[in-house]
Amino acid sequence: MPVSKLLSSFLKELKELILPSQCLVCNVYSQGYLCPSCQQIYKEMISPMYEYNLKVHSLFQYQGKVREILHRFKYDKFREAGLVLGSIMGGYYQDVLQEKYDLLVPVPLHKDELKERGFNQSEILARGFISVFPQNLSLPTLVKVKKTRRQVNLNLTERRENLKNAFSVPYSLKGNTVLIIDDVFTTGETFKACKSALLKAGAREIQGITFCRQI
């Protein structure tokens, strides 16, 4: 085979590797990472929500296609979809907010929870985020030291009790600004618990970003 042919076949393979021919979410043939149907979620991002008290940005409502995509990532354990969702978050932050933080910190899982799921969804989102908008991703900053119950069926008081002292920071963060990243914002109790641990360690400015919001 002539070198030029070999080269062109190599480039074709490389292109297919870089540009997937299937939608990462629903598997239909697609030129990009998301097929035209899955790209519809961009339309829902018209007005991202902002929780003022906790300073948390959420890009979408937890419904319809967004919910479907998130489930594909979290419960079908399809990490590549999570990287795409994280890159959407990074793109939003870069275009709209443009703020740089000293540390990007994913909401951690307890080591037993990590074993059960096999990966931390917030960490994958963070990896997608920094592929678009580089930040200093800091994994050991926030540690989940207590195994908590699932929050879904708990009332507010129980949620607070459940998350009390759940997170810890093993070293000083004096003067650092921190951006916390998570998949879903519900009542904000997880963010409050994370913030409290980060503040205790000396962080001075803390904001949050979630892929979606379930309210």
CA distance 48 to 145: 32
Contact between 25 and Zn ion by CB under 5 A: the answer reads: yes
Q: Which of residues 153-192 bind Zn ion (CB under 5 A)?
A: none
CA distance 157 to 174: 31
Amino acid at 9: S
Residue of 32, 36, 37, 49 whose CA lies nearest to 87: 32
For Zn ion, give the closer residue by CB, 84 or 125: 84
For Zn ion, give the closer residue by CB, 37 or 165: 37
The distance in angstroms from the start CA to the end CA of the chain is: 60
Piece in contact with Zn ion (CB under 5 A), picked from 18-26, 116-124, 134-142, 169-177: 18-26
For Zn ion, give the closer residue by CB, 9 or 22: 22
CA distance 28 to 39: 12
For Zn ion, give the closer residue by CB, 39 or 61: 39
Instruction: Answer yes or no: are the C-beta atoms of 69 and 41 closer than 8 Å.
Output: yes
User: Which of 7, 15, 35, 130 touches Zn ion by CB under 5 A?
Assistant: 35
Contact between 66 and Zn ion by CB under 5 A: the answer reads: no
Chain contacts with Zn ion (rule: CB under 5 A)? 23, 25-26, 35, 38
